[in-house]
Amino acid sequence: MKYYFFRVMFVVIAVCMSVTANCQQSKSYYSKDPHGTSVNSPTTYLGVGLGVNSIGILGGSIEGKFHEKVSLAASAGLGTWGYKLTAGGRYYFSDRTAIGISYALATGLSKVRLNLENSSGNKQDINMQLLPVHLINITYHKFWKLGKGNSRFGVEAGYSISLSPIHQYKVLDQSVILSDNSVRVMNVLQPGGLILGINFTFGR
C-alpha cells in the first residue's frame, strides 16, 4: 500500500510542478497590496496542514497557479482511514479568498486492530479492514499573509461528499459481529462530511 501511495503522489506532484514551471516561464502575476500598489504574486506554494476531512491528521501540499485567478493543488497526508490523497483546482476571488473543488482518496488499511463493542455488548480488540473511500470536496479558503515575505496562514472549510458505500470496512475476525454502537463509531470514522482545516504555506 505504501508503495502505491508514493507512486501516486509522485505523479500528482510532477504534474503540478510541470504546470507551475511552464507558467513561471511565460507569465508573471500581480496583485494589489493594502495600499493599492501592484506587487508580484507567487505562482507556487508549498505547505503543511492538518484538519478533519481535509489534508489529514498531518500532511503536505503543493499548489501551482496557471492563471491569475486559477490554480491546481495537490496534497498527501495521513488520516484515520489510511493515507489521504487529494487533487483539484481553486478559483481565487482575491489573494485572500478562494473556492475549490477536488477529488480525494482515503486509501484505507488492509488490517488494523480497534477496540470496539461486539454484539454481546462486550469491548474487545477486533481486526478490521478499512476499504478505500472516494470523495468529492467542495471548499472555501481564507488566507492571511505573514510578514513581508510570501508565507501565509490559511483556513479551510467545506463539505466532503462520499462516492463510496456507507459501510466501507470489513470485520476480519470470524464469528465477531459489531454492535450498533460500534457500527455508528465506524460510520463516523469513515471519511466524508464537514471539512475543517488549517495550513501554513510558503510561496515563491
CATH number, position 24: 2.40.160.20
Query: Which of 21-35, 55-69, 138-152 shows the lowest mean pLDDT across its residues?
Result: 21-35
| Residue at 179 is within a domain | yes
d(CA 91, CA 101) in angstroms, rounded, equals 9
Identify whether the C-beta of residue 88 lies closer than 8 Å to the C-beta of residue 100. Answer: yes
Mean pLDDT of 122-151: 94
Mean pLDDT of 144-162: 92
Domain around 58: 2-29+40-203
Q: What is the pLDDT of residue 66?
A: 82
Mean pLDDT of 122-128: 95
Mean pLDDT of 82-106: 95
Partner residues linked to 86 by β-bridges: 75, 104
Task: Please say if the pLDDT value at position 29 is more than 80.
Answer: no
Q: What is the pLDDT of residue 157?
A: 98
Mean pLDDT of 94-104: 95
| Residue at 35 is within a domain | no
| Residue at 170 is within a domain | yes
| Residue at 145 is within a domain | yes
Mean pLDDT of 177-197: 95
Go through 125-140 and write b for each residue having 16 or more CB atoms within 10 A of its CB, e for each that does not: ebebebbbbebebebe
Q: Say how many domains are in the chain.
A: 1
| Residue at 25 is within a domain | yes
Residue 35 banded pLDDT, cuts 50, 70, 90: very low
Mean pLDDT (the chain) is: 84
Report CA Rg, the chain.
20
Instruction: For CA atoms 117, 122, 123, 124, give the dihedral sign.
Output: negative
Q: What is the pLDDT of residue 168?
A: 95
d(CA 39, CA 57) in angstroms, rounded, equals 34
Q: What is the pLDDT of residue 158?
A: 97
Amino acid at 2: K
Q: Tell me the CA distances in angstroms from 170 to 53, 97, 112, 141, 188, one per residue in order.
A: 21, 41, 11, 35, 15
| Residue at 129 is within a domain | yes
The closest alpha carbon to 9, from 56, 70, 66, belongs to 56
Q: What is the pLDDT of residue 40?
A: 53
| Residue at 34 is within a domain | no
Task: Please say if the pLDDT value at position 162 is more than 60.
Answer: yes
Task: Please say if the pLDDT value at position 178 is more than 90.
Answer: yes
| Residue at 112 is within a domain | yes
